[in-house]
């Protein structure tokens, strides 16, 4: 590598569209002006603090110490001083607002509350060389802080992320690392999805089986799980609070509760023994709404939970309840009759109201997925809007506050692209690109202006249901670590930075191109901090068609990285040609390029997928074969992924189609694999080339499994040469169920 990232400094002066001098601060501050000369941190710099900010002074010292090697003195003081960073408590600023002044002599962070001071500190770190995030000492670097005057405050008060710690148990250390990742971008709410069919993660002393049984799934060597002890929770809550992050627990009712029912079967309607969910599917089991014992249990759980989580909010889930169990339950039907209700959905409203009643005496407000307001709910709640904006209109009109967590912008378990090799939690999930996240606007279009104050903010969601049985752990080329946490980092960064900007910065200040530019050094910060991330592909800046080909111009958008490319239609690697100037190619599909951060960390290719409208009758494009993969007169192994292309039971046709070249290929039949096990084949050999232009293979899928990896394998051989190229199409014929 040409660059050693450790010595890269942030050198980009970025002027935003509205003329703001913003360095590369994300989220973009409300106002920022250059103050001229920079401050240089040295071993003698003192951190002075006002009032009771000792813990924040120590936190700042702790942030600065690993990379600089300085053990900066902290002291209480009533005023700023030269060669000092002063944390100053002042009157009159909103809770999360701050002002930051950096000049040659001193640094001052002013705020009216610890929250604002913490955000001033986060901005300060972003004004320093990127190495400040390093956990190891970096020598011979001047720790310069750009001279600036910032006045800043957030647009929305709820800036959240949800972690699904039930389906995949993120241990305490990962949660705390995640809090660091969030707080780097001034997110302030961590919603923990603590309970679901696949695991109960919260120690409740009165009900030990919730964790001795409910926190574990699978048998023998397959057994996995875990939970947070009450001490773990206290530690996480305190760690978060120092970083202005509030943890909101989600204790789901009435569905997604199989883990609790596995521990205490009397909570369900039929009381039959059940097991904690291993494969992903939503259990039909619900807490019984007819029995008082259900509410006694929940009262006890809340009693303990509220001693751990000081938040004013309690999330009660409420999503995706199917009512079959309630329909067949004598207790539930009796309740329905006594209350004079017409349908089971109204029983869920009753459930919600009972919980509102129960938590009110603790001063708590309920939050729930948008289903909780579906049938109406009189007393005020917070609706977490995930389906679509119509749910937001309904919730606000009923008087509820809302938080937007829309599936099409905020679900980070959805992949970032459809490029082959992309990390996919599930094949059916549509991509949400970085730019798409940046286009998320919590102030949804069409909402009556009078309801605007009811929009608390926005939130990302990182579900882990598609990670529970391990089948999605396909290799991410850039992350050589077979731990799911690495995938969650990949799904989170850089998209969480975009999410943070669109909920912190006012709409008028948002600008995609400026954001993309400011992001350039943030990848370096992730490298230093040890956060995983998805490396963006090179940016296409120009593409021009000539009579005999195309010119392609690219831009590298990761500071210190390089672009490598290929012109033979095969994915480039870290040793491919370095991109220095625009490249000419005959056909667009011959060109691919990657961003290389290091030998182990690089992007998926930027490529130009081609349409073949003339082949429409063969179904959908699936893959290509390239002349360079073929050997003349010698069969070679040939494999292509079919995950996502095979997506239900039925009969499929796979067709090899000739594009160009003089020679034919021989195809030795076709074998079809699920999770690397053969399950179908068409053994008829075929030929495809200038003369026989297509060759088709047929097979049946009768045990389709969501989340499984599918592929086709064969051997191909060049006949009288190896210069032909072609494509492979797949067609779904019929349902054989």
Which positions touch ligand ACM (CB under 6 A)? 319-320, 369, 386
Cβ-closest residue to ligand ACM?
Answer: 319
The listed partner (Zn ion, ligand ACM, none) that binds 329, CB under 5 to 8 Å by sort, is Zn ion
Query: CB of residue 92 vs ligand ACM: minimum separation in angstroms?
Result: 40
Query: Pattern of binders to Zn ion over 318-337, x per CB under 5 A?
Result: -----------x-xx-----
CB atoms within 10 A of CB 665: 28
| Nearer of residues 319 and 327 to ligand ACM, judged by Cβ | 319
Establish if 290 lies at the interface with Zn ion (CB under 5 A): yes
- Give the CA distances from residue 485 to residues 460, 490, 499, 532, in Å, rounded to whole numbers and listed in that order: 17, 9, 20, 9
Query: CB of residue 321 vs ligand ACM: minimum separation in angstroms?
Result: 11
Do residues 686 and 696 touch, judged by C-beta distance below 8 A?
yes
The listed partner (ligand ACM, Zn ion, none) that binds 386, CB under 5 to 8 Å by sort, is ligand ACM
- How far, in Å, CA of 314 to CA of 358, rounded? 11
| Nearer of residues 48 and 280 to ligand ACM, judged by Cβ | 280
The listed partner (Zn ion, ligand ACM, none) that binds 290, CB under 5 to 8 Å by sort, is Zn ion
Instruction: HSE, CB side, 13 Å, CA atoms: give it for residue 156.
Output: 29
The listed partner (Zn ion, ligand ACM, none) that binds 225, CB under 5 to 8 Å by sort, is none
Nearest to 239 by CA among 251, 227, 228: 228
| Nearer of residues 331 and 436 to Zn ion, judged by Cβ | 331
- How far, in Å, CA of 612 to CA of 703, rounded? 31
Active site residue 56: no
Task: For strands 106-111 and 84-89, give the pairing.
Answer: parallel
| Nearer of residues 231 and 320 to ligand ACM, judged by Cβ | 320
Name, in order, each residue with C-beta under 8 angstroms of 399's C-beta and a sequence gap of 6 or more.
Answer: 380, 454
Is the backbone of residue 351 left (phi > 0), alpha (psi -120 to 50) or beta? alpha
Query: CB of residue 463 vs ligand ACM: minimum separation in angstroms?
Result: 7
| Phi and psi torsions of 134, nearest 5° | -70, 145
Region of 224-232, 283-291, 336-344, 358-366 interacting with Zn ion (CB under 5 A): 283-291
Alpha helices in 465-584 (DSSP H): 484-492, 495-504, 512-519, 522-529
| Nearer of residues 270 and 307 to Zn ion, judged by Cβ | 270
Task: For strands 650-660 and 725-734, give the pairing.
Answer: antiparallel
CA 77 to the chain's CA centroid: 42
- How far, in Å, CA of 529 to CA of 180, rounded? 10
Query: CB of residue 285 vs Zn ion: minimum separation in angstroms?
Result: 10
Query: CB of residue 426 vs ligand ACM: minimum separation in angstroms?
Result: 13
Residues 104, 136, 320, 702: which is the catalytic one? 320
Query: Pattern of binders to Zn ion over 376-405, x per CB under 5 A?
Result: ------------------------------
| Nearer of residues 110 and 315 to ligand ACM, judged by Cβ | 315
| Among 253, 288, 498, 559, contact with Zn ion (rule: CB under 5 A) | 288
Active site residue 256: yes
3-state secondary structure at position 61 = helix
Do residues 716 and 666 touch, judged by C-beta distance below 8 A?
yes
The listed partner (Zn ion, ligand ACM, none) that binds 331, CB under 5 to 8 Å by sort, is Zn ion
The listed partner (Zn ion, ligand ACM, none) that binds 539, CB under 5 to 8 Å by sort, is none
| Nearer of residues 212 and 270 to Zn ion, judged by Cβ | 270
DSSP 538: P
Q: Which residues pair with 641 in a beta bridge?
A: 711
Establish if 254 lies at the interface with Zn ion (CB under 5 A): no
Do residues 414 and 431 touch, judged by C-beta distance below 8 A?
yes
DSSP 281: -
DSSP 28: P
| Nearer of residues 442 and 686 to ligand ACM, judged by Cβ | 442
The DSSP-derived string for 610-638 is ---GGGGGG-EEEEEE-GGG--BTS-EEE
The listed partner (ligand ACM, Zn ion, none) that binds 288, CB under 5 to 8 Å by sort, is Zn ion
Query: CB of residue 386 vs ligand ACM: minimum separation in angstroms?
Result: 5
| Nearer of residues 56 and 280 to ligand ACM, judged by Cβ | 280
Query: CB of residue 513 vs ligand ACM: minimum separation in angstroms?
Result: 32
Query: CB of residue 417 vs Zn ion: minimum separation in angstroms?
Result: 45
Establish if 347 lies at the interface with Zn ion (CB under 5 A): no
Nearest to 477 by CA among 417, 421, 419, 558: 421
| Nearer of residues 335 and 495 to Zn ion, judged by Cβ | 335
Nearest to 295 by CA among 344, 345, 236, 335: 335
Residues 191, 193, 256, 528: which is the catalytic one? 256
The listed partner (Zn ion, ligand ACM, none) that binds 319, CB under 5 to 8 Å by sort, is ligand ACM
Q: Which residues pair with 199 in a beta bridge?
A: 196
Active site residue 413: no
Query: CB of residue 424 vs ligand ACM: minimum separation in angstroms?
Result: 17
Nearest to 283 by CA among 319, 264, 257, 253: 257
Establish if 269 lies at the interface with Zn ion (CB under 5 A): yes
The listed partner (Zn ion, ligand ACM, none) that binds 253, CB under 5 to 8 Å by sort, is none
Tokens representing residue 320 in the block = 């995706």
Query: CB of residue 405 vs ligand ACM: minimum separation in angstroms?
Result: 8
- How far, in Å, CA of 167 to CA of 115, rounded? 32
Tokens representing residue 640 in the block = 């292509």
Q: In which element (H, E) is residue 349 found?
A: helix 344-360
Establish if 349 lies at the interface with Zn ion (CB under 5 A): no
Binding-site ranges for Zn ion (CB under 5 A): 269, 288, 290, 329, 331-332
Q: Which residues are annotated as catalytic?
A: 196, 256, 320
């Amino acid at each position: 590598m040409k660059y050693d990232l450790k010595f890269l400094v942030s050198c980009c002066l970025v002027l935003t569209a509205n003329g703001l001098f913003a360095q590369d601060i994300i989220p973009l501050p409300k106002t920022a002006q250059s103050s001229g000369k920079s401050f240089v941190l040295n071993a003698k710099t003192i951190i002075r603090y006002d009032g009771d900010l000792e813990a924040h002074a120590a936190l700042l010292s702790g942030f600065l110490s690993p990379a600089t090697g300085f053990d900066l003195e902290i002291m209480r003081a009533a005023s700023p001083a030269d060669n000092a960073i002063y944390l100053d408590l002042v009157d009159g600023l909103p809770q999360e607002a701050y002002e930051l002044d950096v000049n040659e002599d001193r640094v001052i962070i002013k705020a009216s509350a610890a929250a604002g001071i913490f955000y001033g500190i986060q901005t300060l770190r972003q004004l320093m060389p990127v190495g400040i995030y390093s956990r190891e000492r970096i020598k011979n670097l001047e720790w310069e802080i750009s001279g600036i005057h910032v006045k800043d405050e957030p647009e929305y008060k709820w800036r959240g992320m949800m972690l699904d710690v039930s389906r995949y148990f993120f241990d305490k250390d990962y949660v705390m690392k995640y809090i660091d990742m969030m707080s780097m971008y001034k997110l302030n709410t961590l919603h923990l999805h603590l309970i679901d069919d696949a695991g109960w993660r919260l120690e409740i002393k009165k009900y030990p089986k919730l964790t001795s049984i409910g926190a574990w799934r699978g048998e023998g060597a397959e057994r996995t799980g875990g939970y947070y002890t009450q001490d773990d929770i206290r530690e996480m809550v305190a760690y978060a609070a120092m970083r202005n992050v509030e943890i909101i627990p989600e204790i789901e009712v009435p569905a997604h509760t199989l883990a609790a029912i596995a521990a205490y079967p009397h909570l369900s309607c039929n009381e039959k023994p059940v097991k904690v969910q291993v494969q992903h599917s939503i259990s039909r089991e619900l807490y019984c709404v007819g029995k008082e014992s259900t509410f006694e249990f929940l009262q006890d759980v809340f009693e303990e939970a509220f001693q751990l989580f000081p938040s004013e909010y309690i999330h009660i889930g409420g999503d995706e309840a199917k009512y079959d169990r309630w329909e067949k339950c004598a207790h539930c039907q009796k309740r329905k009759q006594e209350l004079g209700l017409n349908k089971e959905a109204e029983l869920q409203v009753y459930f919600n109201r009972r919980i509102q009643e129960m938590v009110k005496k603790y001063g708590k407000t309920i939050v729930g997925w948008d289903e909780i307001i579906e049938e109406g709910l009189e007393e005020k709640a917070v609706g977490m809007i995930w389906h679509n904006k119509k749910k937001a209109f309904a919730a606000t009109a009923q008087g509820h506050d809302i938080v937007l967590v829309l599936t099409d912008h905020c679900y980070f378990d959805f992949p970032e692209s459809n490029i082959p090799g992309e990390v996919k939690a599930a094949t059916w999930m549509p991509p949400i690109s970085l730019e798409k996240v940046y286009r998320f606007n919590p102030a949804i279009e069409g909402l009556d202006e009078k309801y605007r104050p009811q929009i608390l903010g926005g939130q990302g969601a990182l579900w882990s249901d598609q990670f529970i049985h391990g089948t999605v752990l396909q290799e991410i080329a850039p992350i050589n670590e077979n731990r799911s946490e690495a995938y969650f980092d990949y799904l989170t960064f850089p998209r969480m930075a975009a999410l943070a900007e669109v909920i912190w910065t006012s709409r008028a200040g948002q600008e995609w191109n400026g954001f993309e530019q400011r992001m350039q050094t943030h990848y370096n910060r992730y490298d230093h901090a040890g956060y995983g991330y998805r490396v963006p592909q090179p940016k296409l800046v120009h593409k021009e068609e000539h009579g005999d080909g195309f010119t392609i111009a690219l831009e590298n958008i990761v500071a210190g990285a390089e672009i490598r490319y290929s012109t033979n239609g095969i994915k480039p690697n870290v040793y491919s040609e370095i991109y220095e100037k625009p490249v000419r190619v005959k056909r667009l599909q011959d060109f691919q390029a990657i961003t290389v951060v290091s030998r182990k960390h690089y992007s998926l290719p930027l490529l130009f997928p081609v349409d073949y409208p003339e082949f429409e009758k063969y179904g959908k494009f699936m893959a290509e074969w390239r002349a360079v993969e073929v050997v003349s007169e010698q069969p070679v192994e040939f494999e292509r992924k079919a995950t996502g292309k095979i997506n239900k039971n039925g009969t499929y046709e796979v067709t090899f189609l000739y594009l160009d070249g003089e020679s034919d290929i021989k195809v030795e039949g076709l074998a079809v694999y699920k999770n690397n096990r053969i399950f179908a084949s068409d053994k008829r050999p075929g030929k495809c080339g200038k003369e026989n232009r297509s060759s088709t293979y047929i097979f049946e899928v009768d045990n389709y499994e969501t989340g499984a990896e599918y592929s086709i394998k064969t051997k191909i051989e060049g006949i009288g040469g190896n210069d032909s190229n072609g494509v492979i199409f797949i067609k779904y014929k019929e349902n054989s169920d």
